[in-house]
């Protein structure tokens, strides 16, 4: 396996997604969906039958197939690399698993400086299956961009410290407030892993990256700025040096949108709780992504499309707008509704 980077497909220069992400004028508003590759698709359920989540993510052929499924079905303007935010930790040797109905579970939660120091740094040699999958995808996708993906330091740290998903993040904040040296070392470690993981994906051909900070909404702006933002900024700065657009997304982050943009994003993802017209002034001279309530796909089609049109209209005032849901596709979503939504957005005139 060589380390050379393949030349990008010539059609990528006209990609509506990439043009909007860079703040350029696209031919139309682009659309893709977070969690578009996954449990809402019957073809996904078929190929995943009997195969664990992490096992799926470490199988290049299966990762390629799953990532391509929504592109084939919907004709969306970008593919999102099928992975999981804890996969890089698994790859460097952290003892964890993804438990059905629970989420990531860490066998020995991180609590001390020794625990942090025991986590290896990630190198491309830890994730050869990622390089293989991305190269395969880029070859298959042609002029459709592939978005690389990583979990942001705070969210990944929360899983490591809590030992699994948490609503209160009490142990995480206890470390942040009570053992700031351990916290800083852990965030630095995870940030380095995330940056390296994104670098592997871009080197193999990914055209953009998204940093997911699912739990950042649990923080005040002051705590985010002091204890989290510098580490996310380091990841985003490293991605920026790779020359690809950077999307930064968090859930429940209405009070953090400006800071998340300042951390180094080219595009700030907005969840459904914040009206897009209110978010745009907060993010500064940046593009926005979002932000239809994921439950609206269960509404009558005309209601869903009416709400989508309002978001498209609001997006006109942004430096760039990438249409998306305000969070991931809900597993019980009817794929036909997403097909109707995609067709509507792609046919809407800016």
Mean pLDDT of the chain: 96
pLDDT category at 210 given cuts 50, 70, 90 is: very high
Confidence of residue 3 (pLDDT cuts 50, 70, 90): very low
CB 308 within 8 A of CB 341: yes
Task: State the pLDDT at residue 5.
Answer: 57
User: In this predicted structure, what is the pLDDT of residue 349?
Assistant: 82
List phi, psi (to 5°) of 102. -120, -60
Contacts of 14 (CB under 8 A, 6+ apart): 27, 143
Question: Which residues, in sequence order, are bridge partners of residue 291?
Answer: 324
Assess whether pLDDT exceeds 70 at residue 104. yes
Give the mean pLDDT of 314-332. Answer: 97
Burial of residue 95, with CB atoms counted within 10 A of its CB: 0-12 exposed, 13-18 middle, 19 or more buried: exposed
| Residue 71: Cβ within 10 Å count | 21
User: Of 87 and 4, which is predicted with more confidence?
Assistant: 87
Rounded Cα–Cα distance for residues 214 and 53 (Å): 19
Q: 22-81: per-residue pLDDT in tens? A: 999 999 999 999 999 999 999 999 999 999 999 999 999 999 999 999 999 999 999 999
Residues that are catalytic: 35, 39, 48, 84, 159
Write down the pLDDT at residue 100.
83
């Amino acid at each position: 396996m060589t380390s050379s980077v393949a030349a990008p497909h010539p059609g990528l220069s006209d990609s509506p997604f990439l043009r909007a992400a860079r703040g350029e004028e696209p031919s139309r508003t682009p659309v893709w969906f977070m969690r578009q590759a996954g449990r809402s698709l019957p073809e996904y359920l078929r190929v995943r039958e009997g195969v664990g989540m992490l096992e799926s993510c470490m199988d290049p052929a299966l990762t390629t197939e799953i990532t391509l499924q929504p592109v084939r079905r919907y004709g969306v303007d970008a593919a999102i690399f099928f992975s999981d935010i804890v996969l890089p930790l698994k790859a460097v040797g952290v003892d964890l698993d993804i438990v059905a109905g629970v989420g990531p579970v860490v066998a020995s939660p991180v609590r001390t400086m020794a625990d942090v120091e025991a986590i290896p740094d990630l190198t491309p040699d830890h994730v050869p299956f990622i390089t293989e999958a991305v190269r395969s995808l880029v070859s298959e996708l042609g002029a459709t961009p592939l978005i690389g993906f990583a979990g942001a330091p705070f969210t990944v740290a929360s899983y490591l410290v809590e030992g699994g998903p948490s609503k209160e993040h009490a142990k995480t904040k206890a470390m942040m407030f009570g053992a700031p040296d351990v916290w800083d070392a852990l965030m630095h470690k995870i940030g380095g892993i995330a940056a390296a993981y994104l670098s592997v994906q871009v080197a193999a051909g990914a055209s953009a990256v998204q940093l997911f900070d699912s739990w950042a909404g649990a923080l005040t702006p002051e705590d985010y700025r002091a204890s989290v933002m510098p580490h996310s900024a380091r990841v985003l700065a490293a991605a920026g040096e790779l020359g690809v657009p950077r999307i930064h997304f968090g859930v429940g982050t209405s009070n953090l949108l400006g800071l998340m943009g300042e951390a180094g994003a080219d595009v700030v993802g907005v969840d459904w709780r914040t009206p897009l017209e209110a978010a745009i002034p907060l993010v500064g001279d940046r593009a926005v992504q979002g932000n239809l309530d994921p439950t609206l796909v269960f509404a009558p089609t005309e209601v869903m499309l009416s709400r989508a049109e309002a978001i498209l209209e609001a997006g006109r005032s942004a430096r760039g707008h990438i249409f998306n849901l305000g969070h991931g596709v809900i597993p019980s979503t009817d794929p036909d509704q997403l097909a109707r939504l995609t067709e509507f957005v792609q046919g809407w005139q800016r």
